[in-house]
Amino acid sequence: MTIERLQKILSNAGVSSRRVAEELILAGRVSVNGEIQNALGARADLDTDEVTVDGVPVVKEKYRYFLLNKPAGFITTARDEMDRETVLDLVPIGDIQLHPVGRLDRESEGLLILTNDGHLTDLLTHPKYEVEKEYLVGIDSMPSQRDLERLVRGVESEGERLRAAAARPAMAPHAAPGEDVQGAASWLVVTLKEGRNREIRRMVEALGRQVLLLRRIRLGPLLLGDLGSGAFRELTPEEVDQLYSAAKRAEGLSEPAPRASKFVGKNTSTAAPAPPRASRFRAPAGGGARLAKASRFAGRPSPAPPKPKARPESGARKASGQRKGSR
């Protein structure tokens, strides 16, 4: 018996992400054993309770994970109100309710994950997890080194501050059959940790240039590789584990090191934090406001404070004042 929050049940069942599930609950579209549940704290056990969304029962499914090389011209959504072609039309696998992880705009292409695992979708797309996404970008003119530095420092676009995690020049890709990559004058590899709408296109436009081709080539440890445009394949269990680990490491949780594979490009171990640097100053005895300078050599005791000079007796001061006044 596993009693869980409804938004987690819907997410794990592949109905939606947790954020969308919360909206469904608040809208009164989720019921448990025939009773509408519109509170985010509502719980249920999918093994013993009947949970429905708009009257449709929610059932446990085996999670499936697919890597698609999205071609330009397809909409990244599960359903399109204008009846345009979507990325799900490219992965005809039966009655499994898949959804895309993240977004690629209609004219962009490259790596896209399709799954019914709502929890992994949240880990890979929520900004707080900062899972890296890498793009090959073809632009109409050569950017300067200063332009690349601006992309990392951040540029303003439509009232937002957009910033790349990294940006570097790249070689032109090999053209696939029927593909034209000769129109771009320059190529970049840009790394992002967020997924704002048309982020790279807006960043390049802020530099006075135009994106001619935009292709996602990496998501966390997962590479697009040589998968053909429009083709897809199912992820291996090891690749799924690596995606989970990448998101949880970014969150700062303790995770075992993933098994080595061609999808992991760097050491993911983290060193223990360095101890804090000792202060150059210490407070003097007696709680005075001035700070005494610490000893230059570790281990030596600090010199004792000098003894105060003896003050002259009041009579002596008076006599001294009389002598000064008599001069």
Q: Buried (b) or exposed (e) across 304-318, using 16+ Cβ within 10 A?
A: eeeeeeeeeeeeeee
226 is catalytic: no
Residues 6+ apart with CB under 8 A from 59: 13
For 274, counting Cβ atoms within 10 Å of its Cβ (0-12 exposed, 13-18 middle, 19+ buried), the class is exposed
Cα–Cα distance, 15 to 122 (Å, whole number)? 13
Q: Which residue among the candidates 45, 54, 89, 105 is catalytic per the annotation? A: 105
Residues in the chain: 327
Contact 218, 208 (CB under 8 A): no
For 109, counting Cβ atoms within 10 Å of its Cβ (0-12 exposed, 13-18 middle, 19+ buried), the class is buried
Cα–Cα distance, 43 to 160 (Å, whole number)? 38
User: Position 16: which residue type?
Assistant: S
Scanning the structure block, which residue is given the tokens 């090959």? 136
User: Position 62: which residue type?
Assistant: K
Please count the helices (runs of H) and the strands (runs of E) in the chain.
7, 19
Contact 219, 133 (CB under 8 A): yes
SS3 call for 84: coil
Angle of CA points 132, 133, 139, to nearest 5°: 135
Q: Which residues pair with 192 in a beta bridge?
A: 133
| Catalytic residue positions, numbered | 105
